[in-house]
Copies of this chain bind each other. A is one copy, B any other.
Amino acid sequence: MLLIADNLTITNRSVKQALDDMAPEPIRELVRECEAAGAGAIDINPGPLGRDAGSRMAFLVETVQAETSLPLVIDTAEPRAMEAGLRACRNRAVINGFSLEPAKRDAMLALAAECDAEVICYLLRPDSQVPAGVDERLQVACDVFAAARAAGIEQERLIIDPIIVPVSWQDGASRNRELLSVIRQLPDVLGLPVRTIAGLSNLTAGAGPQEQKLLLERASLCMLAGAGLSMVLMNILHQETVRTARACSALTQPGVFVWEEL
């Protein structure tokens, strides 16, 4: 399982300050910490960027890749910022993300095709609502794959995000259980191996005690890994979650088990 750090986000106060100041060093330090903690890729989520969207996203990407050669995930809903981020990337980047929402789908797919990027595809309805049930989620996955194909993007570049919902939602637990079926069934439904990703912190969004939130996130991560999840977007500085992810990999990857890899 690939661990993608979601730490470089505007909701992290030090990141916000560094972005306000256009100061590279706090960003670089955070990237060093993330890599040392076990990140296999870095998600860059600068939040709403305002007028200078392009230059600020480019600043972030350049700052991060001055410090690391890890793959980068460009996390913005704004096509201008996405374009600037992708153009600043030295290596193949990941678009986070694409959905069927009409206002954004064409712009994101065009960027993916033009910049040869990988694309995280959200399983959301065109109106951005979470689908109801396993079958609708699988139908959305088919629609997403069809839209990408029509835009000339190879299926191998797509990564499906079935969208974890907060467990505090009235039917949050049962909706998230459906994700396990979706992840398992996607390869059969789409007829090819499919990479999947989940944003772990969505599970415990909102109020709640921190220790219990992390406990719940770890349990959910294992369930998702058992269903075949390929990647997780997570706070990589949560050491116990990283250890848990390693244990999941030991339990799911082929090959001989060795204690030292835990």
- Cα–Cα, bound, A220→B216 (Å): 15
- The contact of A226 among B227, B250, B254, B262, by CB within 8 Å, is B227
Question: Which of A173, A220, A254 has its CB near the most chain B CB atoms (within 10 A)?
Answer: A173
Determine whether the beta carbon of B222 is less than 8 Å from that of A252.
no
Q: Which residue of B lies closest to A214 (CB)?
A: B247
A208 interface residue per 8 A CB criterion: yes
Select which of B170, B174, B208, B259 is within 8 A of A259 by beta carbon: B208
Query: Chain B's nearest CB lies how many Å from the CB of A165?
Result: 11
Question: What does the 1/0 interface line of A175-208 toward B look like (CB < 8 Å)?
Answer: 0110010000000000000000000000000001
| B262 pairs with A243, CB closer than 8 A | no
A129 within 8 A of B: no
Q: Which residues of B contact A28 (CB under 8 A)?
A: none
Residue of B170, B222, B251 near A167 (CB, 8 A) is B251
B212 contacts A251, C-beta separation under 8 Å: no
Chain A stretch 63-83: residues in CB contact (< 8 A) with chain B: none
B262 near A168: Cβ-Cβ < 8 Å = no
- Copies of the polypeptide in the assembly: 2
> In the complex, what distance in Å separates the CA atom of A227 from the CA atom of B177?
10
A173 touches B253 (CB 8 A): yes
In the bound complex, what is the Cα–Cα distance between A180 and B223 (angstroms)? 10
Residues of B near A212 (CB, < 8 A) are: 247, 259, 262
Q: Which residues of B contact A227 (CB under 8 A)?
A: 226
Chain B residues with Cβ below 8 Å from A223 are 222-223, 225-226, 248, 251
Nearest first, the 5 A-B pairs at minimum CB distance are: A223-B226, A222-B222, A219-B247, A212-B262, A219-B222
- In the docked arrangement, what's the CA distance between A241 and B226, Å? 17
Which single residue of chain B is at the shortest CB-CB distance from A256? B170
Interface residues of A in 127-181 (CB under 8 A from B): 167-168, 170, 172-174, 176-177, 180
What residues on B are CB-neighbors of A256 within 8 Å? 170
CA–CA, A248 and B259, complex, Å: 25
- B173 pairs with A216, CB closer than 8 A: no
Asked if A218 is at the interface of the complex by the 8 Å CB criterion, the answer is yes
| Distance A80 CA – B148 CA, assembled complex (angstroms) | 66
